[in-house]
Structure 1
Amino acid sequence: MSAPAGPVRVAVVDDEELVRIGLTAIISTAPDLTVVGEAADGAAVPPLLARTRPDVVLMDVRMPAIDGLQATRHALATAAHPPRILIITTFEHDEYVYAALRAGASGFLLKRARPAEVLAAIRVVAAGESLLFPAAIRRLAAAYGSRTPPADLTDREAEVLRLMARGLSNAEIAERLVLGVQTVKTHVGNVLAKLGARDRTQAVIAAYESGFVSPS
């Protein structure tokens, strides 16, 4: 997914009105971002997406009727223009957060994050990257993972996956391995295809679950 041509369109989904107001106020300070809609429950997400076509959705993980996990799965599977989804949560060590990442969310953001961190996170996922916190994902995988075997990767693909798991971007991987960025993009695409992963976050989760990548 490439970065949007104009301002990044953001939707905010949270059952706490104060959280929605706060996030909307933060996003509104950035000229390159715009809030196009809000919802208080996962049940309202499908019509919200159809009406506003956001690039990024900030999705609360725990909501009363339909939670963020169900809403994420449904949005990514059925939306005509699936958005990038950032899970917003109070606790990073949450089975719901981990399940949402496995379902295709691009990352997660803690509700105590500073305004600058919120804006940076939205820009990262809007640009097509994944918001990775390797240490947190490793702990989540250890607690909730299924220990599936790794795919049959080439040596170079394995090297790229290890660097992805450390949170490096394509440009950083290219610099580390002395490769062109386009070559790295090709390797990343091959890794995702072999792992059956939607994006980098799912690939990194698979790497940790399998034991292919472990703490250094």
Structure 2
Amino acid sequence: MRAGFRMILESAGDIVVVGEAATGTEAVAAASVLRPDVVCMDVQMPDMDGLEATRRIVADPSIDAAVVVVTTFDRDDYLFEALAAGASGFLLKNAGPEELVSAVRVAAAGDALLAPEVTRRVIARFTQTQTQPAVVATPLPVRPPEPARIAVDLTEREDEVLRLVAQALSNAEIASRLHIGEATVKTHVSNVLQKLGARDRVAAVVFAHRNGLV
């Protein structure tokens, strides 16, 4: 599988594969030494699984690498654990060669690789968690106050873009909705992420839902 990935990525012409690892422990060590821009990480590996390896790579300030989780299993628990660990993307191994190459390029550019359907699953899980009633084992349960909305200095256009990102629209769909260029949308998204201090679009989606923007 790794040999196949290497062949696909190196044939792209603008990507150099600097190393490989057979286990999670090897992956963390290799990332620390080789300092790659992107790590394509499996989930199930011997010694240390890919989710823990992702956590360690993302948490290490000396490693400035985006992690794209590439797995055989289309399972929500892997998806959410990978995103919680700090992964910048989630891709299935049955994706086509062009999708793998695109995933590495997107992650290297600092963007999150989340297809709209994946984003919708994240939103669905988040909103389900937010709306589930709490079971309180006290005689007189008291509902905690709602968290205060965080004020962020977004422009009117940036606010519009954030709301559409939170609805799982792609850059192309946002451009069509707002009648602006896709490159302009990308600039707005980048500005929004910077102002929110958000790592990627997923973090922006969560922010929007927590603050009642959608």
* Shorter-chain TM-score tier: 0.7 to 0.9
Map 1:124-143; keep pairs closer than 5 Å: 124-143=106-125
Task: Out of 61-70 and 117-126, give the one that drifted further.
Answer: 61-70
Matched, 1:21 2:3: yes
Deviation of the 1:112 alpha carbon: 0.1
How far apart, in 2, do the equivalents of 1:173 and 1:152 lie?
Answer: 25
Q: Deviations over 1:30-76 (max 9, x none)?
A: 21111111111211222201221111110112223322221112111
2:91 is aligned to 109
1:41 is aligned to 23
Higher relative contact order, structure no. (Cα contacts within 8 Å, ≥ 6 residues apart): 1
Change in Cα spacing, 1:139 to 1:86, as seen in structure 2 (3 Å) is same
Matched, 1:123 2:105: yes
1:162 is aligned to 163
Change in Cα spacing, 1:132 to 1:74, as seen in structure 2 (3 Å) is same
Counting aligned pairs with the same residue, the percent is 41
Gaps of 5+ in 1: 1-18
Q: Calculate the aligned-residue CA RMSD, in Å.
A: 3.4
Q: Which of 175, 178, 191 is the aligned partner of 1:176?
A: 178
How far apart, in 2, do the equivalents of 1:108 and 1:136 lie?
Answer: 9
Say if 1:192 and 1:203, in contact at 8 Å, map to a contact too. no
Change in Cα spacing, 1:43 to 1:158, as seen in structure 2 (3 Å) is same
Change in Cα spacing, 1:183 to 1:23, as seen in structure 2 (3 Å) is closer
How far apart, in 2, do the equivalents of 1:28 and 1:139 lie?
Answer: 32
Count of residue correspondences? 193
Deviation of the 1:180 alpha carbon: 11
Larger Rg: 2
Give the TM-score normalised by the residue count of structure 2: 0.73
Q: Deviations over 1:61-104 (max 9, x none)?
A: 22233222211121111141320111101233331221221332
How far apart, in 2, do the equivalents of 1:58 and 1:124 lie?
Answer: 12
Which amino acid counterpart does residue 84 of structure 1 have in structure 2?
A: A
How far apart, in 2, do the equivalents of 1:38 and 1:68 lie?
Answer: 13
Say if 1:42 and 1:65, in contact at 8 Å, map to a contact too. yes
Deviation of the 1:205 alpha carbon: 4.5
